[in-house]
Structure 1
Amino acid sequence: MLQSAVEEIELAYVLYNVVEQYIESGELSLVLADWSPYFPGYHLYYPSRQHLLVAFEKVINALRRYQRE
């Protein structure tokens, strides 16, 4: 989707931090900004850190890495 938007083929609905550099450089522009919801980040709740499934730990770590980028 992002590549198609940069090539002016289609619109893309993606997270702002994914396209921020393209917007700042002028390659892309926001459309319908008033209708774009603010996304402060991921929020996870899990009652205990004991005995987490390996797959769930990988999801948590991936989200942490993605949010820092």
Structure 2
Amino acid sequence: MSPMGWFVSCLLLWLIAFPVYLSKRGELRQAREDEHARQASAAMRKCPFCAEPVRAEAIKCRHCGSALAAGRG
């Protein structure tokens, strides 16, 4: 193949591959963010007194100071 043919082929490959890469990168980023949010919400529970999110293993609410029952959510 001539040098001009290689140039055109590489240019076309770049024009096709780069948008595909950008679209897949966004999907992967969204999947990672969804996984992180799901893990964060699983480690949290709502305070029964003020309804603010607190860690599941917390024994005292950091927002209102109320004592939390262990193992309840």
Global fold match (TM > 0.5): no
The structure that is helix-richer by fraction is 2
What interval of TM-score do these two structures reach, taking the shorter chain for normalisation? Answer: under 0.3
The structure that is strand-richer by fraction is 2
